[in-house]
Structure 1
Amino acid sequence: MTAIDFIPFVERLATVSGEAIMPFFRTAFALEDKNVGGVFDPVTEADRAAETAMRRLIGQTFPSHGLIGEEFGSREAESEYVWVLDPIDGTKSFISGLPMWGTLIGLLHKGVPCYGMMNQPFTRERFFGDGRAAYWTGHNGGGEKTTRRLRVRPCLGLDRATIMTTSPKLIPEKLRPRYEALEEKTRLSRYGGDCYAYCMLAAGQIDLVVEAGLNVYDIVALIPIIEGAGGIVTSWDGGDPAQGGAVIAAGDKRVHEEALEMLREGSGTD
């Protein structure tokens, strides 16, 4: 099977996860802190309900496939095909009633990201790609569903770039000065995007996303979308971003090279 063969199934995963999540959004629901005593790391009933629904469907349809999920851990993670799930990427936005969150559904083939989708059931948008092409489906002003090819935009240099990160406070203290120096070189900075920032990069709306401390389920689904739109995503040392850690994504290789030069030294620690 190829990544294209899995597209209808990924659509089903997006639908069942959205059906599990939406009854909770902008309502009162139970909330826990997974990192008591440290940086606030919330998890909700919606996170668990969505991952449970996706894991059940994967198990029924592809019992030989592996799974890596944020809420319920890993199983058979050395399989040829492994699904990587983040039921709500951007939980802090979710619990604040803001729509800057999404469900990440990624697929690894022999350890390499081969397909990814970001589903936002509230705005009814889906961003997806296979590393060769990427697309957006949503609704235009008249409510009609439409599909559009995603393409990054050109940017001549950092001084013309828009940069996003979820929060500079989430970047480890020893790496933060490098991020702050980079941000100072850019034209505009915005915070709070989580997975949405990477999708806006793929859509040609921003130029650079820089984060650190990511987990594998935070990034795997986004890599085929960014690359399919013509963008570049690497670790801060220019290596493979699929294991998370310190990650940089850019729409233009000129901006990527400039930013990487500023971030590279000392980026092996996160």
Structure 2
Amino acid sequence: MRDFWDRVLNFAETTTGKVGNDLMADFGQVQPSEKADGSLVTQSDKWADREIREAISGVFPDFGILSEEGDTCFGGDEWCWVVDPLDGTTNFARSIPIWGISLGLFYRGTPVFGYVHLPPLGQSFYGFWYGDTGLDGPQGAFLNNRAIATSADEPSGNHFFSFCSRSIRLFHEPFPCKIRLLGVASYNFLMVANGVTLGGVEATPKIWDIAGVWPIVRAAGGTWVELQSTPIFPLNPGEDYGDRNFPTLVVAHGDLTGVFRPLVSELVTF
């Protein structure tokens, strides 16, 4: 199965690299429009989505595809790519250099591989996490091919925690860490995986916001806390995930769950 995972990794690297290079030409040059849920979309999002879906169909013709700008219904395929062609559209449109392309590969409804490429930063994260799927293969989480891991530190005034724009509206002191807002759901959680922050919360992420980062966070040693009553994975065949939110807390290690969950549970809008 090693050849399969090499092919998956090579495809993710090549495809996100090509699309990312082309998106850089549009960076800060396009006008966004507002979708029904209040989020922004540009022609670049739609173009990148088509490019990635076509690339997947060419290399993995038997795999399903679920994407933000395409089909949002999970077809129940054994293997399925979940695509966010441009995570951080507001940053992209407003010339803030934190945005990326996120791919998650699902096996029987659960993500087992994730790849997130951030062209303006020159950063590519990826990770393998098989859980109880019965699969095996490469292990670990990586940034630019260097192994990464979450922090083992305890909170202090010199550590960081990231909020999203929706959750920060209800924030109140005191809080055990310095606060940051990065504006990109995937990058928020990747900073936990990379040991930069101790935690992060997202109030309204969609499935494509978390599909690519879930395996990376888990492989890096992070703890994923679902702030809802039902588990996210495995996905349900036939269900439309276009409008579903998955409020989520990610922390660097399990001991921090008891520190941060009581604080952010009140902040997240279900």
TM-score, structure 1 length as denominator?
A: 0.82
CA distance in 1, matches of 2:177, 2:74: 45
Judged with a 3 Å threshold, the aligned counterparts in structure 2 of structure 1 residues 164 and 266 are, in CA distance, closer, same or farther, namely closer
Query: For residue 258 of structure 1, what is the aligned residue in structure 2?
Result: 259
Structure 2 counterpart of 1:110, one-letter code:
R
The answer to whether the 8 Å contact 1:215/1:245 transfers is yes
2:136 equivalent to 1:135: no
Structure 1 206/121 Cα, relative in aligned 2: closer, same or farther at 3 Å?
same
CA distance in 2, matches of 1:260, 1:249: 10
Counterpart of 1:8 in structure 2 is 10
Verify: 1:190 aligned to 2:180, yes or no.
Answer: yes
Range 75-84 or range 85-94, more displaced: 75-84
Matched residues in 2 for 1:160 and 1:77: separation?
45
* 8 A Cα contact 1:82 1:108, kept in partner: yes
- The structure 2 residue matched to 1:227, chosen from 209, 215, 218, is 218
Task: Give the secondary-structure state (helix, strand or coil) at the position aligned to 2:18.
Answer: helix
SS of aligned partner of 1:63: coil
Q: Which amino acid aligns with 2:128?
A: D
Report the RMSD for the aligned CA atoms in angstroms: 2.6
For structure 1, the 5+ residue unaligned runs are: 138-146
CA–CA distance in structure 2, aligned partners of residues 205 and 249 of structure 1: 13
Using the TM superposition, give the Cα deviation of residue 53 of structure 1 relative to its aligned residue in structure 2, in angstroms: 0.7
Query: How many residue pairs get matched?
Result: 248
CA distance in 1, matches of 2:74, 2:84: 17
SS of structure 2 residue aligned to 1:151: coil
Distance, in Å, in 1 between the alignment partners of 2:211 and 2:224 is: 11
Contiguous gaps of at least 5 residues in structure 2: 130-138, 236-244
CA distance in 1, matches of 2:147, 2:229: 27
SS in 2 for 1:152: coil
Q: 2:192 aligns with which of 187, 201, 217?
A: 201
Structure 1 Cα separation of the partners of residues 176 and 128 of structure 2:
30
**Conservation of the 8 A alpha-carbon contact between 2:164 and 2:203:** no
Q: Do the aligned residues in 1 keep the contact of 2:224 with 2:248 (CA within 8 Å)?
A: yes
Matched, 1:124 2:125: no
C-alpha deviations, 1:28-66, integer Å up to 9, x for none?
Answer: x2422113xx63x21112111111111001111212111
- Aligned counterparts, 1:1-270, within 5 A: 1=1, 4-5=5-6, 6-27=8-29, 29-35=30-36, 39=38, 41-74=39-72, 77-131=75-129, 132-137=139-144, 147-157=145-155, 161-167=159-165, 170-171=166-167, 177=170, 180=171, 184-194=174-184, 195-237=186-228, 240-242=231-233, 244-264=245-265, 270=270
Q: Taking every aligned residue pair, what percent have the same amino acid on both sides?
A: 25
What secondary structure sits across from 1:224 in the alignment? Answer: helix
Q: State how far apart, in whole Å, the 1-side matches of 2:231 and 2:183 are.
A: 22
Maintained 8 Å contact 1:116/1:220: yes
Q: Tell me how far 1:237 sits from its aligned partner.
A: 4.6
Structure 2 residue identity aligned to 1:192: L
Cα displacement string for residues 77-119 of structure 1 (whole angstroms, at most 9, x for unaligned residues): 3100111111111111111101111111111111111000110
Give the 3 Å change call, closer, same or farther, for CA 206–263 of structure 1 in structure 2: closer
